[in-house]
Amino acid sequence: MICRVCGGIMEDRVTDVPFKVGDTNIVIVKGLPVIQCSQCHEYVLADTVMAGVDRILESVDKAAELEVVRYAA
Ligand SMILES: [Zn+2]
């Protein structure tokens, strides 16, 4: 897979990714499997992973400004 930003090689990695929820909330998902560019750190998520992230983001406490959640496949 080739990076759509810089043309670099995309590789499978497991990393921590922050997601913005609403205007003021940030959820950091730890241990997330992503496909990330080796050059510019652009990343994409597989559909199944994206669905899992959606579930996490729906379930977090919206009152918390910052929440850290571990991804579980
Ligand atoms: Zn790139």
Domain ranges of the chain: 10-70
pLDDT of 73 reads: 65
| One CATH from 3.10.20, 1.10.1060, 3.40.50, 3.30.70 for 10-70 | 3.10.20
pLDDT of 62 reads: 79
pLDDT of 15 reads: 94
Q: How far is the CA of 9 from the centre of ligand 1 (A)?
A: 7
pLDDT of 22 reads: 85
Q: How far is the CA of 17 from the centre of ligand 1 (A)?
A: 17
**Alpha carbon 54 to chain centroid distance?**
10
Mean pLDDT of the chain: 94
Which tokens in the block code for residue 27?
Answer: 């959820």
Q: How far is the CA of 43 from the centre of ligand 1 (A)?
A: 8
Question: Mind giving me the DSSP string for the chain?
Answer: -B-TTT--BEEEEEEEEEEEETTTEEEEEEEEEEEEETTT--EE--HHHHHHHHHHHHHS-TT-SEEEEE---
What distance in Å separates the CA atoms of residue 56 and residue 3, rounded to the nearest whole number? 26
pLDDT of 33 reads: 97
Q: How far is the CA of 2 from the centre of ligand 1 (A)?
A: 8
Full-model pTM: 0.84
> With a cut of 50, which residues of the chain have pLDDT below it?
none
